[in-house]
Amino acid sequence: MAAPKPSGQRAIEAPVPVPADGPEARYRAKAEILNRAIQEIGMGRYQWQLFVVIGFGWASDNLWPIVTSLILPPVSYEFGVSRPPLLTLAQNIGLLIGALLWGFGCDVFGRRWAFNMTVGITAVFGLIAAGSPDFGAACAFAALWSIGVGGNLPVDSAIFLEFLPGSHQYLLTVLSVDWAFAQLLANLVAWPLLGNMTCAQEKGCVKEENMGWRYFLIAMGGLAMGMFVIRFVFFTIYESPKYLMGKGKNEQAVRVVHEVARRNGKASSLSLEELDDIDQGAAGLTTTGIVRQRLEKLRMGHVRALFDTPKRAYSSTLIILVWAFIGLGFPLYNAFLPYIQQSRGAEFGDGSTYITYRNSLIIAVMGIPGCLVGGILVELPRFGRKGALSSSTALTGVFLLLSTRATTSNALLGWNCAYNFMSSLMYAVLYAYTPEIFLTKDRGTGNALTASANRIFGIMAPIIAMFANLQTSIPVYVSGALFIVAGILVVLLPYESRGKASL
């Protein structure tokens, strides 16, 4: 039988309902036992180390799309490209492939192998891209490094959430400070390199006068390689115990929990019998049955599980739409922000490359306090995840619309700072709330679906940019409206995951 809940521990509830009997009921019962075991161990050395290395994935998710947006002007100058947004399109196609590949794969084959591969792929192709001989090669390498980037959040959020005690799930929101810091770091490095080693568009451009973007890629690729080495060499990642028990590997799940307890300098009372007792009477699987089960997973069983009840189908559909609208609105504006800053700045008499990247750095700074405020708001009673997410998403759109009223460069900069503060807060909450409303056994797939919707709509952004007039405010109006609609959809979501341990 399950051990009694330790006194003083916060009640553990399921964020989504499950049937009263059958395999899913057994899964829920075992998940609650593991939740109690993780809560008993508490937030210790292993989880804090995991907090650091998982942060690399959060950082990479924001770092590399920003890298693409920052190198877009100098790359287009050097290669004389008529449609520069093709570079962003190639990146977004890679992000979509990565979200699908790693998101679905980690539910079928496990989290551990994907954990290191995503950062490693990003590092290798980011470094190779610095030697691109033409625009086609630059696009190809951007797509390849983005396959690695696209898997960071689906995999890393699942791993971190499954090792966190319920009392510390707010740290999934705080993790987004790494996301904001990556934006700051990218702009900090880009300002001197791209600001001083980029040729002017009007003069024609040769490689020797335009080395800034190549040095920038070497710096960012080297940073990613350092992240990979720390993850692979200096940190031991254990397979998620909830993933293992969901696969029927109770003994391995118990072993991982005890190993985490040992790393934390504590002991766990979890026993194998507690999990096996729940499985008692359930039919075992032969080798043929295991193979059949794996094939069933590949036949989209995890996807069907996300829509197996009316309420869960409603919730999954809404959160996918929220990610889709944000996926179009965010890159439609943000991916071309340096270009918008430069072109609008030219209207105000200060559109130099140096000022453009200086302003991008100032805007990036505002993301850090946005993430920290998000970590506070998600734990407020009667506000929680939904209140923080809906308000920040809608306000992101409002500030975008207000930026079209700027009549000076400083006013445009101010509105963009407010926009980045709110959008960073929004993403901080979105990345925490989304995996919390999925069951562990389907979490990777749920993350993959939402990320894929985000990437599919993201692919539309550079296509729109190629045919829309970026000199007008129309793309900004569209982007702002998408954020406001997404904020309204969040209000309609049926689950509030604040105060509930994930299953």
pLDDT in tens, 390-403: 999 999 999 988 88
- Quickly state the pLDDT bin for 79 (edges 50, 70, 90): confident
pLDDT tens for each residue of 177-190: 887 788 889 888 98
The per-residue pLDDT for range 191-201, each reduced to its tens digit, is: 888 878 888 76
User: Is residue 2 over pLDDT 60?
Assistant: no
- Among candidate residues 435, 334, 430, the one with its CA nearest the CA of residue 69: 334
Percent of the chain surpassing pLDDT 90: 19
Of 145 and 433, more confident? 145
CB 412 within 8 A of CB 406: yes
Q: What is the pLDDT of residue 393?
A: 93
Q: Which amino acid is at 185?
A: L
User: What does the pLDDT look like over 255-279, one tens digit per residue?
Assistant: 999 998 999 888 888 888 888 887 7
Most confident of 11-25, 393-407, 432-446: 393-407
Let me know: does 316 contact 306? Beta carbons within 8 Å.
Answer: yes
pLDDT band of residue 130 (cuts 50, 70, 90) is: very high
CB 317 within 8 A of CB 437: no
Chain mean pLDDT for the chain: 79
Q: Do the beta carbons of residue 12 and residue 33 sit within 8 Å? A: no
Count CB-CB contacts under 10 A for residue 273: 12
CATH 1.20.1250.20 residue ranges for the chain: 45-237+304-491
**Where residue 224 falls among pLDDT bands split at 50, 70, 90?**
very high
- 471-489 per-position pLDDT tens digit: 666 777 888 899 999 999 9
CATH topology of domain 45-237+304-491: Growth Hormone; Chain: A; (1.20.1250)
Among 101-105, 283-287, 328-332, the range scoring the smallest mean pLDDT is: 283-287
Structure tokens, 35: 């939740």
Instruction: Give Cα 16 to chain centroid, integer Å.
Output: 22
Average confidence (pLDDT) over 89-114: 83
Per residue in 234-253, pLDDT (tens digit) is 888 888 888 888 778 888 98
